[in-house]
Structure 1
Amino acid sequence: MKIGGLRRSAAHRIACAVVAAEVRRLRDGDAARLPALDWPEDMPIGDEGLGLDSIEQLGALGALAETFGLDDDRLGTEPPARVGEWIDWVMAAQHTSDRQIIVATSGSTGAPRLCRHAVADLLDEAAYIAARFADRRRVVAMVPAHHLYGIIWTALLPGVLGIPVVVRTIGAALDLTAGDIVVAVPEQWLALSRIVRRFPDDVVGVSSAGVLDDRVATDLSAKGLARLVDVYGASETSAIAIREIPASTYELLPRWHLAPRDDGDWDLVDSRGARVDLPDRIDRTGDRTLRPIGRRDGAVQVGGHNVWPDRVARILRDTDGVADVAVRLHANGRLKAFIVPVDGRDPADLSATLDRVVADRLTAAERPKSLRFGSSLPRGEMGKLTDWV
């Protein structure tokens, strides 16, 4: 079934991911009791199926309404009792040309910002991608479909191509086969580069939501991955540009072009002429090619989440016994911290104190996994902060 361009199969996958994320939030991160996605449409929402209590069911309705721009005038006389009734509600609102999908930024601190995207624009993006992957026979999803990357690549794209989606988790058998397109994030690709001895013939990979290390890409290619595509984008823009490994520059999607700023940097301009901030400073390498060279807001990505090292450093610096702190992204994809204790403070004792601060005040993505102690922050000859091992 297709209404307003959004296929029911796509709405189904997105809705399941949205509800799962909401239930996880209500259960303080615990979604272990939920059945594995994607839930069949005849599955009961209550005790006999998903096991959502009345408060969780209300939360699910609210999350779906926010994501798809729904209201209660299209609900029935009784609250939804099965998964398919959620999908009915979503599809009933897809008949107008101005439908939107709303996603939250992946920031790890503060209230996430809501980003609105016209369904028509997202479908155009999926159609462009589909033309580049028309020979694929199955999407293997390792990312959820409530973030924009998952929405495009694991919900809309398979709908355009008319191919099935299977969900896989690293740590279980992948059962990949020729014709698969595997959709994952850089941390997952790193794990796969170590776990998979040899990929089957004709398996294509896609990466986004962070920087893909060139060494990881090389390892994946050496293990038989036929193609690896790196997608540059953001929650605010969706995909901006794509590169085919081993290319180092990204090619803009058709809806975008670059326009110069007064400060010598660049803005995105969409097909309607609207200017949009790029998330990064860029090196413009051609009329339609670019290379990101650093976040404008100082954020880094850890596990697909935006994290601000300066914020983490401020929290650690406020700890009793800490004189100064520097925080950076480690080569392993997690944060690391360099700690300068106040005079006379024992590093071992201070480390235990910092462990409590980290556990109490920082999210999982923000927590430094490596602490190094020294009498002063590492600096070069000109006094600029330098990296440390």
Structure 2
Amino acid sequence: MTGQSASPTCWWEQPGVLHRVVCDLLNAELTTMRRRPLLHTLPWPNELHLIRDLGADSLELLSLATSLSELLHIHRSGIEDYLLARLEIQDWVSVAYTSLRQHSADITFSTSGSSGTPKRCEHSLASLQQEISELSVLFDGRRRVLSAVPAHHIYGFLFTVLLPQALSIKAEQIIDVRTSSPGALLSAMQPGDLVIGHPDYWQNLARLARALPDNVVGVTSGAPCPNAVAIDMRAAGLNKLVQIFGSSETAGIGWRDDETAPYTCFAYWQAQDDGAALARRMPDGATARFTLQDHLTWQDENHFRPAGRRDQVVQVGGINVFPARAAKVIAQHPAVQDVVVRLMRADEGNRLKAFVVPRAGYEDDLMLAETLAEWASAGLSAAERPATYTFGAALPRQSNGKPADWII
């Protein structure tokens, strides 16, 4: 679409959609930089001022402008400097809109960056629309979208920006439910709704779900969804819970609506190198190759099952987290001789846990746990911080010397 005038079919022309994408990005970036939630909850009014209302300093403003320019490729239109000259939300949305009228062919998403360095993943709009053409068949007939995910990440962009447009769902029927309690959301559901969430969100919803309206469909992605959650939601009346498998690098790879079944890959993917890579047939007919971060076991050429990560990442609340990074930060405390961090067992919860070998002189476990929790808060994001600390004279090992799990 470079150099072409905008048309009513452009995603950013839908009322309020570009505003939502911009605000979600700025909110996430400021929250990450400050390591705490902002006092101003979404949605933000047009007149919200980045300095007066959000207290952004010069370094934060520069980082925010860079992030928005990177997401929407504003730098390619040459008007990114206007972001630092006009500081109300409506000004930034206006700059983004003007830029998209000149260049909208590509968009760059970032991974969560829990390893310390977020990865930039550029996608052509045409390739995202290629996925939407398959998703729109899966979700035909939906009337509203209830979203519990941000719109500036690839999952949220696909399912709360592009998919509603393909399904002719008006912008006012895309409802942000991130600040709604599970009980309030259940009361607000209507027949024909499409609910976009992540496994932790669905897990909380399943605890309260009773007698849902007819014909409500759910979607989950970002982490494996426990089978029990899908079973409980169907028992409560959910028509189906569609699980999407993919990543920021690849976008969607496949889907399933039965937790016992393998995933069906989208038609444009093909396994390569014994499943270690995928080839994608792009909209222009070219072929792109992607190295996978996950082990996939292929049942046949169209169906696969995930078999664990290749890069030791785990997911907490739908966010990629590297336990080794959390352990590295905790190990820097002078009271710590050795430490290991790993994901809790399914019966323990869905957060990280830490096993610490203290140095001599630190015998008060309760006080040390509080001290390390405070230390972790200063250097780790909420998803990266261990929720529990266990102490011992040596790290847990199996009889063969390999690392072992521990019960909290």
Normalised-by-shorter TM-score class: 0.7 to 0.9
CA contact (8 A) 2:11 2:161 kept: no
1:302 aligns with 2:316: yes
- What is the aligned counterpart of 2:299 among 285, 290, 297? 285
- Measured in 2, the distance between the counterparts of 1:366 and 1:25 equals 12
- Measured in 2, the distance between the counterparts of 1:123 and 1:96 equals 19
CA contact (8 A) 1:284 1:290 kept: yes
Structure 1: tracts of 5 or more residues without a match: none
Q: Deviations over 1:14-34 (max 9, x none)?
A: 223223334445665442225
Structure 1 segments, 4+ long, off by >6 Å, are: 49-54, 75-78
1:311 aligns with 2:332: no
Q: Which moved more, 1:144-153 or 1:9-18?
A: 9-18
Residue type matched to 2:352 in 1?
A: L
Deviation, 1:250, is 1.2
- What is the aligned counterpart of 2:196 among 166, 169, 183? 183
Give the corresponding residue for 1:233: 246
Deviation, 1:317, is 3.6
Which runs of structure 2 are paired with 1:291-370 in the superposition (5 Å)? 291-330=305-344, 331=346, 332-342=349-359, 345-348=362-365, 349-370=367-388
1:242 aligns with 2:255: yes
Which runs of structure 2 are paired with 1:60-209 in the superposition (5 Å)? 61-71=65-75, 73=78, 86-94=92-100, 99-163=105-169, 164-168=173-177, 169-171=179-181, 173-174=184-185, 175-209=188-222
Deviation, 1:171, is 1.7
Computed over aligned residues only, the root mean square deviation of the Cα atoms, in angstroms, reads: 3.1
Residues paired across the two proteins, number = 382
Deviation, 1:238, is 1.1
- What is the aligned counterpart of 2:272 among 244, 259, 266? 259
Normalised to the residue count of structure 1, the TM-score between the two structures is 0.87
- Measured in 2, the distance between the counterparts of 1:199 and 1:297 equals 39
Report the CA distance shift for 1:2/1:125 in structure 2 as closer, same or farther (over 3 A): farther
SS at match of 2:287: coil
Deviation, 1:88, is 4.5
Normalised to the residue count of structure 2, the TM-score between the two structures is 0.83
Residue type matched to 1:70 in 2?
A: I
Residue type matched to 1:135 in 2?
A: G
CA contact (8 A) 1:103 1:114 kept: yes
Deviation, 1:381, is 3.2
- What is the aligned counterpart of 2:395 among 364, 372, 377? 377
Give the corresponding residue for 2:39: 32
CA contact (8 A) 2:373 2:385 kept: no
Sequence identity (%): 34
Give the corresponding residue for 2:11: 6
CA contact (8 A) 2:74 2:80 kept: no
SS at match of 1:274: strand
- Measured in 1, the distance between the counterparts of 2:289 and 2:342 equals 31
Structure 2: tracts of 5 or more residues without a match: 1-5
- Measured in 1, the distance between the counterparts of 2:354 and 2:301 equals 40
